[in-house]
Amino acid sequence: MKSQDLIALEELYGAQNYRPLDVVVQTAQGVWVTDVDGKKYLDCLAAYSAVNQGHCHPKIYEAFVEQARHVTLTSRAFRNDQLPLLYKKLHELTGYDMSLPMNSGAEAVETAIKTARRWGYDVKGIPENQAEIVVASGNFHGRTTTIVGFSDDPSSFKGFGPYCTEAFPMHEYGNIEDLKTKINQNTCGILIEPIQGEGGVVIPPEGYLKAVEEICRENDILFICDEIQAGLGRSGKLFAHYYENVRPDIVIIGKALSGGFYPVSAILADRHILRVIKPGEHGSTFGGNPLAAAVAVRALEVMEEEHLIERSAELGEHFAAGLRAIPSPYITHVRARGLWIGLVLDTGARPICEALKREGILCKDTHENIIRFAPPLVITKEEIDWALERIKDVLTTK
């Protein structure tokens, strides 16, 4: 079937909860995808950083197939031989004592919320049902009803209430003085993204994360860092909070944790925090299954073996510098950390993304006037230069 036929079927039978560019991907390898009509595109979104290791990475594929030959799913009522290896790998890589695996990023955020609340009641002594978690303006942590209830983006929350907004007071992202006004004796956690991805790669002021950490230590509050997109190399470091040398109490990870082969997420924390969750109090049918664990371990090994974090830092600087050098009247500024770039325009971003698609580049618009560039971390300097030529052509001839 041709692209127009498949698009027509999707429009007829599928819920319209996305507004995708009209490219129908059929195959993918590394940083390149090919549509059903045979046209190749450079993927500059990487499935929202889920395929940091590149599409269909052969080593992760081998692990996926090999594990699928043995067992894919066992109930957590029993143990399996792969999950302990993932626990050990995450401990060795991150330094946190323990982890709790789930599936989607939103599930991991919910897990962090539940853990922080239970810690607040059992350890801090907050009165029952009074625990509060301070969040930030411009946040994006997922799509569950709890999470959209503390969003300030109407497209996320409008029409899905009622919400328990008093449980999630909001401060202005990057504003420490405002954050201080939202804290009280019932505050059990502060939940932030070290870089806001959905907001257009928004980088907070220098010193913000360090100040958040200090506030948490002074007030017996858990510092919760959502690294689902920013983490595992995307920002040019293992975690984006490393830029300020802080150590959150809970780190939320997902997306690239499986290299795009399977939904895998987790929260990381030390023993004294995660021990508050007792048997039967939280779980998931698929979370921590042997297929997920085997794939996640191999995805993390690939990240290390191929030095993807270092590549992200080096090539991200090259990509961002190339964008800043484009003499376009439409570019306002460029925000970048590693291979995670927000190109801020003074014109609509969607038409630019559509024009770039015609030139063979796939990227994503957000908040009307921002384009996100986040290619797989296996991209080469030559491929970036290829993309920069076409981006320049589009932005100087619009």
**DSSP-assigned states of every residue in 83-115:** HHHHHHHHHHHH--SEEEEESSHHHHHHHHHHH
Mean pLDDT, residues 89-106: 98
Q: Active site includes 220?
A: no
**Residue 379's closest CA among 22, 49, 105?**
49
Mean pLDDT of 237-262: 98
Question: What does the pLDDT look like over 171-187, one tens digit per residue?
Answer: 999 999 999 999 999 99
Q: Is 262 helix (H, G, I), strand (E, B) or coil?
A: coil
* Tens digit of each residue's pLDDT (9 = 90 or more) over 118-170: 999 999 999 999 999 999 999 999 999 999 999 999 989 999 999 988 999 99
pLDDT level of residue 80 (50, 70, 90 thresholds): very high
d(CA 358, CA 313): 28
Element (H, E) at 13: helix 3-13
Which of 35, 43, 89, 140 does the annotation list as catalytic? 140
pLDDT for 3: 94
Q: pLDDT by residue (tens digit) across 1-58?
A: 899 999 999 999 999 999 999 999 999 999 999 999 999 999 999 999 999 999 999 9
Residue length of the chain? 398
Q: What is the pLDDT of residues 355-391, one digit of tens each?
A: 999 999 999 999 999 999 999 999 999 999 999 999 9
Closest to 139 in 3D by CA, of 215, 205, 204, 210: 204
Ordered structural domains, the chain, with CATH = 3-56+308-397 (3.90.1150.10), 71-305 (3.40.640.10)
- H-assigned helices in 176-270: 176-181, 208-219
Whether pLDDT at 65 is above 70: yes
- Can you list the positions of beta strands (E) in the chain? 25-29, 32-35, 40-43, 98-102, 132-136, 170-171, 187-192, 222-226, 250-253, 265-269, 331-336, 341-345, 361-362, 364-366, 370-373
Could you tell me what percent of the chain has a pLDDT over 90? 97
- Look at residue 398 in the predicted model and tell me its pLDDT: 61
> Which member of 150, 237, 239, 255 is catalytic?
255
Per-residue confidence band for 75, with pLDDT thresholds at 50, 70 and 90 = confident
Beta strands in 2-82 (DSSP E): 25-29, 32-35, 40-43
The pTM of the full predicted model, rounded to 2 decimals, is 0.97
Catalytic residue among 35, 43, 226, 365: 226
Whether 255 is catalytic is: yes
Write phi, then psi, for 225 (nearest 5 degrees). -115, 120
Query: How far is residue 89's CA from residue 247's CA, in Å, rounded to a whole number?
Result: 18
Mean pLDDT of 53-70: 98
